[in-house]
Structure formats: structure tokens, C-alpha cells
Structure 1
Amino acid sequence: GARRRRRARWRRRPRACETEPSRSMDMGNQHPSIRRLQEIQKEVKSVEQQVVSFSGLPNDKSYKNLERMLMKQLFEIDSVDTEGRGDVQQARKRAAQETERLLKELEQNASHPRRMEIQNIFREAQALVEEKIVPSYSGGSCATEEFEEGIQDIILRLTHVKTGGKISLRKARYHTLAKICAVQEIIEDCRRKQSSLPLPEDAHPSVAKINAVMCDVNKARGTLIALLMGVSGEETCRHLSCVLSGLMADLDALDVCGRTDVRNYRREVVEDINKLLKYLDLEEEADTTHAFDLGQNQSIIEIEKVLTRMREIKDELLQAQSPPELYLSSKTELQGLIGQLDEVSLERNPCIREARRRAVIAVQTLITHLDLKEALEKRKSFAGEEHPSHRAVWDVLGHLSEILGEVLSFDGNRTDKNYIRLEELLTKQLLALDAVDPQGEEKCKAARKQAVKLAQSTLSYLDLKSDEWEY
């Protein structure tokens, strides 16, 4: 009986997986230093997303807060007593490395060369607003043509800043564009309003008060522009919000019963105030919105859908034996795709506008390729006499057709050997066209001019395809 009991005692050992529950129950018996390190790591982890998406600059208050918090945790980690234990030393090392990694990422996000590029462009916009706009709300005239051209150029350059898909850069670009586009909208709106004069003051006792409020709203516009652009001095968003809310209350208190014209006038001014209040939310919205993630935007989804279909048509056409009868049906469908792109809502977003522009160019380039192939097919049946210079232009067009087919298939960047080869081939065709002497032949002159234009637009399209831009 004693032997059986001994055998039963040693009969079966639990498998490793069966020991897990008891091991997890032992977590409470961990060394206090390891528990403390886990608590610190949890706090560090809680700000990781803020660090990854940080889109500000090193002198921002939010940067200093995040930096201070991470430095504090690093100090806490350093002060954990390892008592000479290897497991605690390893845990402390891992916790310190993770915190240092986040500190480094925060610093890199705030001082990234592209972030500096965004900030430098924004400074140009600030200077333009200070010089051309702020004085106009102190009694000067409204925005000049020079300002409009300047701000349009700034928006375009910001749109083309490459973010490499990095969240912090996409957020910074979106936020900066949102502010500058808001200023542009406010000024455009102000210009439209200038054409409609307010009602004469003797029309109704309330008109004088509405006129006075409208003057205050106009001043508030200037203040808002200065706030959005960071050139406002002592003014704050909170104070301006209170001022606008007060003006709204003044308008609500007016008695405009029985006068539709006065009521409509008051409603217009109320709408103006509401618009300004909406722009004031931009600053707060910047940290909470995911609007910078245009991959989820409906307009971008529509553009991508068109591009997907365009690529399918392109792949079919670029097959070695695509029949000429396929050209016409493909061209009709491609024209339809351009129509679809024309209907895409731009949402006053320059990045969506740029995405649509690029999509239109891609579709149009494929149509151009089809037109050229059709023209070359027709030429095969040409048997008449021809000027040697004209023949030389057609030879170049034949080469351009082949190169354009390759450019349409190209999917790399400017460091690729293929990019350099295609660029050299196109330059070679331009030089060949330059060497053609039309000898006064008008038809040849026109053909050469068209061929030069085609070679240049193919070069531009190659550059556009390889510049690594993304929305």
C-alpha cells in the first residue's frame, strides 16, 4: 500500500501550460521594484499616442509638458532600487530605453526638416497677413491682388510638402493649411459682403444698432485673422469668443417684428458671427480631429476609385497585342472618368484639389498615349511624298510613343535607374526635335511644336509620378 501511494505521488507532472494560472496568480508576489517599474511604464505608455502624433514645435507649451512628463518618468525609473538583482536591472533598463525612445521621437517630430519647412512657409504667410491684411481692418482697404497671389502660392507650396505618411507631419500640414485657408475664406467673404450696403438707419429704430454690431463684427474679423495666424499680440481666442457671443446677445435682444427686411439683415449679421465662431474652433479642433487622415475622406475614396479603373484600362492597353479597335472604347471610358473627377467635391481642401489634379493628369496622359498610337497606326497606310523634316518628326513621335508607354508603367522614385534612363531618353528626343530644320514648311513647324510639347509634358508626368507626394 505504501509503494502504491509513492507511485501515485510521482505518476503525473503538470504540463507547462497548466502552471500558467498559478504563475499569473503569483504576479502579486513580484518584487516591489518590478511592480513600480510596471506602473511607470503604464504611465509612459499612456502618452505614447500624443508623442507619435505631436505636430507642434519645440517651444510649444504641449511639447514642454510632454517632455517634462517623460523626463520625470525617466528620473523615477533611475531612482528604482535594483538591490543588485539581475531581473530588476533588466526591467529597469527596458523601461528607461522605452522612455528615451519616446523622448527622441518627440524631439524628432518637433524638429523634423519637413516640419521646419511647414513652419517657414507659415512664417511667410504671417508676414503677408501682417503687412497686407491686419492694417486693412484698422481703416485700410481690403485684400489686394498681390496678397491673393501670395497666399495662393503659399497654399500650393504647403500642399506639396512631403510627409512620407508620417502622422505628425500630415497633422502639421493639415492644421497649417486649415488656418491659412480659413483666412482666405474670411477675406473672400468680407469682399463679397462689401458690395451689399446695410439698410439706411431711418428705415427702422433697430437698424442703427445692427449697423454698429456689423462694424464690430468687421473688427472681429481682423482680430480673428491675426489670432489664426499667430500675430495677435495680447488677444486670445477665449476673449474674442466672449465678444462675439455678446454681439449675438445684442442682436437677439432687438425688436424687429413686422419688418422682414430688417429681420433678414439681422439674420445675415448673426450668420457672419456664427461663421467667425466656427473658425475659432480650429485651434481646439486641431488636436482632436482626424480630418488630416484623408485616406478616409469620401472625395479621396472617389478619386482612388477612378484611378483604380484607369490602371485596369492602362494595363489592358499596354499589353503587347492590344488591338486598335480597343482604343476608341477605352478613350470613351477614360473621358467618362475625367467627368467623374470633375464632379468630386474639393471641400475647399487644397490637398484634395491636388489629388484630383494629379488624377486628371494621369487619365489625360493615357488618352494622349492612345491618340498618339492611333495617329501612328494611320500613318502606316500613308504612301504619299513627304518632306524629310516632317518624316524626322514622325520618327521622334514613334520613339515618344514607346517611351510614354514606359512612363505610364513606371512606379518608382527619382533615385531609380529606370527614372534616370527615361529622363535621358526624353531629353534625347527633345534634342532630336531641336535638330530638325523645318525649312519654312508650316506643316512641319506645327508638327515639331506639337512633338516638343508632348516630350515636355511626358517629362513633367514622369516627375509628377516620381515625386513621392501623398495626401
Structure 2
Amino acid sequence: MSMDMGNQHASVTALQEIQKKVKEIEQQVVTFSGLKSDPTYKKIEKALTKQLFEIESIDTEGKGNILQAQKKATEETERVLKELEQNATHPRRLEIEMIFSETQSLVALHTTQFNSGDGPKTDEFEEGIQNILKRLTQVKTEGKIPLRKARYRTLTKVLAIQEILENSSKQQVLSLPLSAEAHPTVSKINSIMCDVNKTRCSLIALLAGVNDNETYRHLSCTLTGLIANLDALDVSGHTDIREYRKEVVKEINSLLKYLDLEEEAELGSAYDLGQNQSIVKIEELRKQMAAIKNSLLEVHQRVSDIHMGTKSELQGLIANLDEVSVGRNPCIREARRRAVVEVQAVITYIDLKEVLEKRQSLPEHTVSEPPCYIAVWAVFGHLSELQKEVLFFDGKRADKNYMRLEELITKQLLALDAIDSQDVRTKAARKQAVKLANNILGYLDMKTDEWEY
């Protein structure tokens, strides 16, 4: 009997060991952002399949508890395998890949034009890249790490390609600063510059995934070697040549920074824009804005009683948002734009409320106003109440409250349409009211479009 217990224990222990290995492999699956064709996918899949064989080969001796443990281990491993496949074949993941393949076509076309000497159609290329970047930021990742990582990596590569090509176009415009007769080292620098241009083309092709013969490590060695060759040149006493060499070194260093991208992308948090300093700053400013906004909820307060500093505080937030560095990342740019729109919506609400309160406190002024003008101001009054609701609305487009608000704002637009007046003042006020109603609708849409960085 004791031997039996020992056997049973050994099999259960073996199964637990396997499950531990599967847990470790699962850590790679959770952050795997590639496709089925990726070597990493095949590697992980192979490792998991191996564990399944191990589980199956364990001797259960027909014992219930070991069979139970074996079944549990099999289910767990199959679940991780399924998750791996779902990550690699998720419709959004395939959408990211499809957008990236358009980048590859654009790059191929652009470099062909570039090398043929026809002169690249830079405007078309830049427009194409802008469109690709915009579409990438609109891919919904539902907060899933593999999707966020895939989108971030693709965005980073496309931005790098865009930047390198822009810089190389500028380089083409510059004629070489010195003729080879000036000094024997000039022709050496010129020839290194040619190597730099070749390496630049290889790098773009590598980033676009259309260069199988090159690796990031090899390019890094090549560029570092070119810097060493430049450093070895004796240019003492020739300021202009030293300046030229400095420019070439600068150019090489600018290319080297792109080679770190791939390593960065593999880092755990690189893809998580939530940890990006600019986003952290934007979120901080949004919190301050929310606190100011909530102070407007005091029902019995007149807007004019609210501390005069409130508005200048909000204006200050916009100034601070303008200072946030967005680099070239369209996600960060969009996050900042949205934060600015939010602050502006609160400022507009305070402004309108102040004007409406002023009108109420001076009823004698409104006696001589034409009925059409008074009708427009009645709409402003309704819009102000609706804007307050929209400011504090925190739901989805499918919510009844969303539909109700949309309908009520649209009703105000119809009411404005019905006001027919040739009076210049009424016309101007009506135009402003239409603009306000459309802005409120746009803001409501923005709040509910489930955008994410």
C-alpha cells in the first residue's frame, strides 16, 4: 500500500511540475503580439505541444485522483494553446498587419523611385503614411496586451520610416559641402557618406519587414564601424572639414537610435502608453480639470459667484497641455487634443452660463428685443442645461440617456432652423447657437467613441 501511495504521489508531482512549466510558457503567450508565421509562435506552440505529450505519457494506473489531475493539466495546456492561436489570429491583429502591408508597398514604391533617380513623389508618400498612422491609432485593442503591443510596435516602425525618409529627402537637397580637392580626407568622408546612405536604405527595408538578409545587430555594427573610421581621420586645423565630419557622425547617430526600437519594443512596458510620461502628464491635467468641473455641480451657486480664478485656471490647463511633448506619436497627439476639447467645453459652459445670468438680472434690457432674438436666447438657455448634462455624462452610445441627449440637442437645432429673421443681431446669435449645438453633439460623440491610446 505504501508503495502505491508513493507511485501515485510521483505521478501527481510530475503533473504538477508540468503545470508549472505551462504557467511559465503562458507568460510568453500573454504578451505574444505576433502572427502564426512568426518563429516565436512556432517555438511557443512546440513547447506547449511537448507538455501535452508529457501529460499523456504519465502512468495514471487507472486511479481516479491521478486521472483527474491529468485531465486538469491537459485542459489547462489546451487553453493556453488556444489563447496563443487567438492572439495571433485576432481580427484586430490581422487588421494591424494589413495596414502594415500597405506601408511595405508604399516604402517599396518610394525607394524604387528614390533609387531610379526620378525623384520620389514625397507628397504622395507623406500623405499615404499619414493615412496609415491615422488608421493605426483607430484600431481598437480592447485593452488586450498583445493587441496594444502589436499596434504600438507597428506605429513606432511606421513613424521611424516616415522620419528617416523625411530626413533623407532633406539630405538629398544639401549638396556635398566640400570638393575632394580641398583635402584628401574629404573623399574618404564622402565615401563613408555613401555607405551611410546605403545603410539607411537597408534600415528602412528592415523596419518595413522587406529585408530578410539584414539584422538590426549587423546594421548597428556597420554604423558603429563607420563612426570609428571617421574618428580615425586626421582633420586637425581644418575647421570646415571637421564640421563636415561632425555632420556625418550626427547623421549616423540619428540612424543608430532607430536600431534600439526593436529592443525597446520587446521590453514589457514599452507598448503601454499608459506609462508614457506625456500621457501621465495629460491624465494629471485631466484630473485637475475634472475637479474644477465638479465644483460647477454646486446647484445653488451662480456661475458669477464661482471664484473668478476658475476660468483662468482652465486657461492655464490648456497652456500646460500645449506644452506636453507629443513627439510624432499620433496616439499622444490625439490624447492631448481630446483633453483640450474637454477643457474648452467647460470654459464654453461657464461663459454661456455667465451671459445667461446677466440677461436674467437685467430684464428691462430685453423688453425692446424682437421676438426672434428672444427665441434664440431661449434655445441658448436649453442648450446650457443640455451642455451641463453632456459634461457629466459618463456612459455609452447604446445607453438610453445618450439617445435622449442626442435627440434633445437635435430638437434645439430644429428650433433654430424654424427661427426666420432678417435682423442682423438675431442672425448672428442664431449662427452662434447652431455652432454651440453642433459642438455639444461633437463632444458627446467624442466622449462615447471608446477611443483609447
Pick one of 113, 122, 125 that aligns with 1:135: 113
1:448-463 matches, within 5 Å, as 448-463=430-445
Q: Give 1:340's aligned amino acid.
A: N
Q: Partner residue of 1:116?
A: 94
Q: 1:213 to 1:142 in 2, by over 3 A?
A: farther
Pick one of 250, 253, 259 that aligns with 2:238: 259
Separation in 1 of the partners of 2:195 and 2:118? 15
Q: 1:391 to 1:131 in 2, by over 3 A?
A: farther
Which has the larger Rg?
1
Q: Give 1:41's aligned amino acid.
A: Q
Separation in 2 of the partners of 1:413 and 1:133? 45
Separation in 2 of the partners of 1:145 and 1:174? 25
Separation in 1 of the partners of 2:53 and 2:7? 25
Separation in 2 of the partners of 1:243 and 1:354? 37
Separation in 2 of the partners of 1:273 and 1:28? 65
Pick one of 26, 32, 56 that aligns with 1:54: 32
Q: Partner residue of 1:431?
A: 414
Separation in 2 of the partners of 1:328 and 1:296? 35
1:6-405 matches, within 5 Å, as 31-142=9-120, 144-198=122-176, 199-232=178-211, 234-323=213-302, 324-326=304-306, 328-380=308-360, 381=362, 382-405=365-388
SS across alignment from 1:206:
helix
Kept in 1: contact 2:34–2:88 (CA 8 A): yes
Kept in 2: contact 1:125–1:154 (CA 8 A): yes
Q: Tell me the CA shift for residue 231 of structure 1.
A: 2.3
Kept in 2: contact 1:210–1:251 (CA 8 A): yes
Q: 1:430 to 1:232 in 2, by over 3 A?
A: farther
Q: Tell me the CA shift for residue 233 of structure 1.
A: 5.3
Separation in 1 of the partners of 2:16 and 2:116? 58
Pick one of 394, 398, 401 that aligns with 1:411: 394
Structure 1, unaligned stretches of length 5 or more? 1-26
Separation in 2 of the partners of 1:437 and 1:120? 51
Structure 2, unaligned stretches of length 5 or more? none
Kept in 2: contact 1:122–1:176 (CA 8 A): yes
Q: 1:190 to 1:340 in 2, by over 3 A?
A: same
TM-score with structure 2 setting the length: 0.92
In the TM superposition, what whole-angstrom CA distance separates every residue of 1:50-97 from its partner, at most 9, and x where no partner exists? 101111112111111111211221122122221111111111111111
Pick one of 422, 443, 455 that aligns with 2:405: 422
User: What is the RMSD of the two structures over their aligned residues, measured on CA atoms?
Assistant: 2.1
Moved more, 428-437 or 83-92: 428-437
In the TM superposition, what whole-angstrom CA distance separates every residue of 1:177-219 from its partner, at most 9, and x where no partner exists? 1001111211232233344432222221111121122122123
SS across alignment from 1:80:
coil
Q: Give 2:241's aligned amino acid.
A: V
Aligned length: 444
Kept in 2: contact 1:171–1:292 (CA 8 A): yes
Task: Percent identity, please.
Answer: 62
In the TM superposition, what whole-angstrom CA distance separates every residue of 1:16-64 from its partner, at most 9, and x where no partner exists? xxxxxxxxxxx98862211221221121111111101111112111111
Q: Does 1:465 align with 2:443?
A: no
Separation in 2 of the partners of 1:161 and 1:173? 8
Q: 1:339 to 1:79 in 2, by over 3 A?
A: same
Kept in 2: contact 1:162–1:469 (CA 8 A): yes
Separation in 2 of the partners of 1:277 and 1:164? 34
Q: Give 2:393's aligned amino acid.
A: F
Q: 1:85 to 1:70 in 2, by over 3 A?
A: same
